[in-house]
């Protein structure tokens, strides 16, 4: 109990410090001004979403090979948490785009592939509600989860392979890309804070999924008796 409370408070402090750094430490961008500070939340959530979906992908593969219910529990937890970060990424994007581009949304390669990724993981979670039998549900959703992850490299590469309305990458983007050193430090700190938040949410969500498994076992025993 105390460990969870201290962990929660530490993550809260880290997220608060990241927000403070984004507002007050990072220098103001010359062309976009104040609104560019959304970047530290928007892009950090995007990268954390990738981590969440990658954990889901690895757990799905592990389930297909070893059929361990723990892998299935971790996969669904990571998918749900990844989806939350994806939602924040998709919501903060248009709020930044409107003052910066003059439009809320455009169907360019990055935005469209990110929206499709969000839909794919919604479908992944919906699929799980449609199948009653636990083993069958776990296998079907694992296979679908592996397929859904194929969109992640597409989202990542879209701004590298095609000309888009979305800005070009600031990390590993080649010549001409990059961030001012203080901005880069604040960005890395924001990524760290978002990953800490992801771990906190993932631990809680995984605990819930384990309890669901326990409840299912007790229910089966009751039905059999």
Partner 1 sequence: MKNLDSLFAAYLIGWGIFFVYYLTVARRTSALKTEIERLKNSQHRSS
Distance CA 119, CA 116 (A): 5
Longest Cα–Cα distance of the chain, Å, equals: 71
CB of 109 or CB of 201, closer to partner 1: 201
- The yes or no reply on residue 87 touching partner 1 (CB under 8 A) is yes
| Contacts (CB under 8 A) with partner 1, residues 18-77 | 19, 33-35, 37-38, 41-42, 45
How far from 187 is each of 25, 77, 128, 197, CA to CA, in Å? Answer: 11, 26, 35, 15
Are 162 and 153 within 8 A, CB to CB? Answer: no
**Residues 189 to 208: which contact partner 1 by CB under 8 A?**
197, 201, 204-205, 207-208
Q: Which of 94, 63, 96, 59 is nearest to 80 (CA)?
A: 59
For residues 110 and 169, the answer to whether their CB atoms sit within 8 Å is no
Which segment (137-145, 147-155, 176-184, 215-223) binds partner 1 by CB under 8 A? 215-223
Binding residues vs partner 1 (CB under 8 A): 15, 19, 33-35, 37-38, 41-42, 45, 84, 87-88, 91-92, 95-96, 98-99, 197, 201, 204-205, 207-208, 211-212, 214-215, 218-219, 221-222, 225
């Amino acid at each position: 109990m105390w460990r969870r409370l201290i962990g929660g408070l530490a993550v809260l402090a880290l997220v608060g410090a990241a927000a403070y750094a984004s507002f007050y430490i990072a220098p103001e961008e010359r062309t976009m001004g104040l609104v560019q500070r959304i970047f530290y939340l928007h892009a950090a959530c995007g990268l954390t979403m990738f981590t969440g979906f990658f954990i889901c992908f690895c757990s799905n593969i592990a389930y297909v090979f070893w059929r361990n219910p723990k892998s299935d529990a971790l996969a669904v937890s990571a998918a749900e948490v990844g989806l939350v970060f994806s939602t924040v990424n998709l919501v903060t994007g248009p709020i930044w785009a409107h003052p910066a581009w003059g439009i809320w949304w455009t169907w360019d390669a990055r935005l469209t592939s990110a929206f499709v990724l969000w839909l794919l993981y919604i479908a992944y979670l919906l699929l799980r509600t449609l199948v009653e039998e636990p083993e069958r549900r776990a296998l079907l959703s694992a296979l679908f989860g592996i397929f859904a992850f194929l969109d992640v490299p597409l989202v990542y590469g879209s701004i590298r392979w095609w000309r888009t309305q979305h800005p070009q990458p600031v990390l590993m983007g080649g010549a001409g890309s990059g961030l001012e050193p203080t901005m880069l430090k604040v960005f890395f700190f924001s990524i760290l804070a978002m990953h800490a938040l992801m771990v906190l949410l993932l631990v809680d969500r995984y605990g819930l999924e384990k309890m669901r498994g326990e409840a299912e076992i007790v229910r089966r025993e009751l039905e059999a008796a």
